[in-house]
Amino acid sequence: MFNFYFLPEAVRLILCLLAVINAGFAALVLLLHLYRRGRSPAWRLSGAAAFFVLCQTVLNAALIAQVYQNILDGYIVASEYIIARYVVFAALAVVSVQLSVVRQGEQRKTETNDREQSADKTSRTAVLRFPHFSIIPGIACFASFLTLPFVEALTGSAFPAAFPAAFSVSLAILLAGSIWLTVKIRDELRASISGLSVKQAMDSLGAAVIFYRKNGHILMQNNKMQDLMLKTSGRVFYNGKTYLDTIVIPNSESAGRENYVYRVPDSVWQFSVRDVIMGKRTVTRIIATDVTEQDKAAAVLRDRHDELNEQQQKLKAFVDNIEEVCRSEEMLRVKTEIHDTQNKRLITLLLYLRYGELPDSTSFESLKDSILKSVYAKADPMADPRAMLNIIVGEYESIGIKIRIDGSFPFEKDIAIVFVQVLQEAAANSVRHGYASEVYVSFMDEESKHIMRVADNGTRPVTDVKEGVGIANMRRQLTELSGTLSIAFTPGFTLTASVPADGRRTR
């Protein structure tokens, strides 16, 4: 190394940088090779070659570093690491020969398989196209030879610049070989299954994954699982069983056998725990999936289901209420018809009693027919109100009661029907309670209202009048049209029904 002391400072600096960079790439080649995790003899020999190449690059960096240190100390010394340089060279030579033999055996075996299985020829020969470590160890052995002490001794005196040149060529060869190997091994790792490729594939998953042994020792996990550990517990666990038993299970909702739902403030995760067989042993696998959106959708469905149940209960109550109302209205209709029928019978009997006569069969038959006509007319929603009014007038004329009508009958059918029904009840009350022989009905319009007044020539009641079914029914019918009913007994009986001109039934 004496001749290095006389090189320019810039040249020594360049050589030093190349030696350091060379050592870095050699170390990277060794690490990438170990990631492939092979078990074949070729893999082991390739690893040994990569290790000894790294040793050679470290020796080269140490030699050039010694020159720098001696210049700083102010003295010149002979080369060091003599034994180490010979040992590394010998090791590279032995490994190179062994690897060449192994590669030749693999090539012969592959050629035999290619003849038997021609379909696989392309894929098999592609593996042999770049026999990386079968060539590189030989080149590295040559580069190591250029830096041996006896080469330095042979060229030192006769050719002062020869050894620095050989040393530079050695650095260049090793650096180029390391860079080439780095690229090729990286391409292999991308195209094949290895520990590194499996880890990269797991990290690219959307789910958090972890594999661990029965004692909890973690075999492999991806980055998302580590992030999930931090999110759920605030720290990273190095024992998978401990994480499952102390964090996941106690704080989760059980979603079935070996399935757990874990809720954090901003997301929901479902943990699926399974025992899987890997080789000859059983390991536990946990897959945690983000089910936040599915949980939100399920919550919306639950809310909609609750709303539907509530609406169903309301609808059932409404239907029950409608049935009750229909039963009540039907009962009221039947009571009203019975009341009207009884009124007509009582009126007829009272008249016969008043005149001291007994009714004959013909009179009863006539009365029966008129009552049926009245009931049928009232029950028919399509009946003509004027026809209904004429029936009532005819009924009462047949038993000697005059109904005198004055004014314009309402044009609106709903109002006219209600007025006819009110008139029917009022006339019955006049004859039954007031012993009237004439009933006066007047229709008029006042201030957008239709008004009907009913009076009679009967006697005034001597006791207070209590409203019964008849009057209550009249009020109900008028109320349905937003109308009113008033009854006065001074000076005589007067009933006034008032309905707005635009009155419509409220139900």
| Strand arrangement, sheet containing 208-212 | 218-221, 208-212, 281-290, 267-278, 259-264, 253-254
- Flag whether 299 is in a domain: no
Domain-terminating residue out of 268, 290, 312: 290
Q: Give the side-chain half-sphere CA count within 13 A for 339.
A: 19
Contact of 120 with 57, CB cutoff 8 Å = no
Confidence at residue 503, expressed as pLDDT on a 0 to 100 scale: 67
Residues 242 and 139 in one domain: no
Measured in degrees and rounded to the nearest 5, phi and psi for residue 445 equal -120, 125
Arithmetic mean of pLDDT, 420-439: 85
- Flag whether 61 is in a domain: yes
SS (H, E, C) 236-290: CCCEHHHHHHHHHCCCCEECCCCEEEEEECCEEEEEEEEEEEECCEEEEEEEEEE
Residues 434 and 465 in one domain: yes
CA dihedral 294, 299, 300, 301 (to 10 degrees): 90
- Flag whether 297 is in a domain: no
Domain-terminating residue out of 152, 175, 194: 194
Q: Using a pLDDT cut of 70, give the percent of the chain over it.
A: 72
Of 342 and 42, more confident: 42
What is the C-alpha to C-alpha distance for residues 156 and 169, in angstroms, rounded to an integer?
Answer: 16
Region of 482 (left: φ > 0; alpha: ψ -120 to 50; beta: rest) is: left
User: Tell me: the pLDDT tens digits for 218-261?
Assistant: 888 888 998 999 988 888 898 999 998 898 888 888 766 688 99
| Strand arrangement, sheet containing 494-500 | 402-407, 438-445, 449-456, 494-500, 484-488
- Going by C-alpha positions, the residue among 254, 208, 217, 260 that lies closest to residue 238 is 217
- Flag whether 298 is in a domain: no
For tokens 């707005």, what's the residue?
A: 500
**Range in 77-86, 205-214, 307-316, 472-481 with the lowest mean pLDDT:** 77-86
For tokens 């289901």, what's the residue?
A: 305
- Flag whether 345 is in a domain: yes
Contact of 433 with 403, CB cutoff 8 Å = no
Q: Is the dihedral of CA 291, 294, 295, 296 positive or negative?
A: positive
Indicate whether this model's pTM tops 0.85. no
Which amino acid makes up residue 74?
Answer: G
What is the C-alpha to C-alpha distance for residues 395 and 403, in angstroms, rounded to an integer?
Answer: 10
What is the C-alpha to C-alpha distance for residues 399 and 225, in angstroms, rounded to an integer?
Answer: 101
For the chain, give the mean pLDDT: 77
**Token duo for residue 69:** 């240190």
The one-character DSSP state at 406 is E
Residues 13 and 119 in one domain: yes
CA dihedral 160, 165, 168, 173 (to 10 degrees): -140
- Flag whether 404 is in a domain: yes
Residue 421: partners with Cβ closer than 8 Å, 6 or more residues away: 378, 474, 477
User: Tell me: the pLDDT tens digits for 275-297?
Assistant: 988 777 889 999 999 988 888 88
Q: Given the DSSP bridges, would you call strands 267-278 and 281-290 parallel, antiparallel or unpaired? A: antiparallel
What is the C-alpha to C-alpha distance for residues 271 and 208, in angstroms, rounded to an integer?
Answer: 9
In this model, does residue 378 exceed pLDDT 50?
no
Q: Is the dihedral of CA 247, 252, 254, 258 positive or negative?
A: negative
Q: Which burial class, exposed, middle or buried, applies to 92 when counting CB atoms under 10 A from its CB (0-12, 13-18, 19+)?
A: buried
Domain-terminating residue out of 290, 317, 346: 290
What is the C-alpha to C-alpha distance for residues 363 and 461, in angstroms, rounded to an integer?
Answer: 29
- Flag whether 310 is in a domain: no
For tokens 């055996």, what's the residue?
A: 105
Confidence at residue 404, expressed as pLDDT on a 0 to 100 scale: 93
- Counting the structural domains of the chain, the total is 3
In this model, does residue 47 exceed pLDDT 90?
no
- Going by C-alpha positions, the residue among 352, 436, 440, 431 that lies closest to residue 404 is 440
Residues 32 and 56 in one domain: yes
Residues 284 and 331 in one domain: no
The CATH number that applies at residue 211 is 3.30.450.20
Residues 162 and 266 in one domain: no
Confidence at residue 150, expressed as pLDDT on a 0 to 100 scale: 73
User: Tell me: the pLDDT tens digits for 67-78?
Assistant: 777 777 666 666
Residues 43 and 188 in one domain: yes
Residues 124 and 227 in one domain: no
Contact of 291 with 269, CB cutoff 8 Å = yes
Concatenated DSSP letters of 193-235? --HHHHHHHHHTSSSEEEEE-TT-BEEEE-HHHHHHHHHHHSS
Confidence at residue 124, expressed as pLDDT on a 0 to 100 scale: 41
Residues 337 and 215 in one domain: no
**Cis preceding linkage at 149, omega within 30:** no
The CATH number that applies at residue 357 is 3.30.565.10
- Flag whether 316 is in a domain: no
Residues 60 and 171 in one domain: yes
The one-character DSSP state at 146 is T
Q: Given the DSSP bridges, would you call strands 494-500 and 449-456 parallel, antiparallel or unpaired? A: antiparallel
Range of the domain at 174: 2-194
Residues 124 and 255 in one domain: no
Residues 189 and 215 in one domain: no
Arithmetic mean of pLDDT, 478-485: 90
Confidence of residue 149 (pLDDT cuts 50, 70, 90): confident
What is the C-alpha to C-alpha distance for residues 282 and 82, in angstroms, rounded to an integer?
Answer: 52
Confidence at residue 78, expressed as pLDDT on a 0 to 100 scale: 63
- Going by C-alpha positions, the residue among 139, 165, 180 that lies closest to residue 26 is 180
Confidence of residue 440 (pLDDT cuts 50, 70, 90): very high
Confidence at residue 82, expressed as pLDDT on a 0 to 100 scale: 81
What is the C-alpha to C-alpha distance for residues 220 and 212, in angstroms, rounded to an integer?
Answer: 7
User: Tell me: the pLDDT tens digits for 84-137?
Assistant: 888 888 888 888 888 888 777 777 776 676 666 554 444 443 333 444 445 677
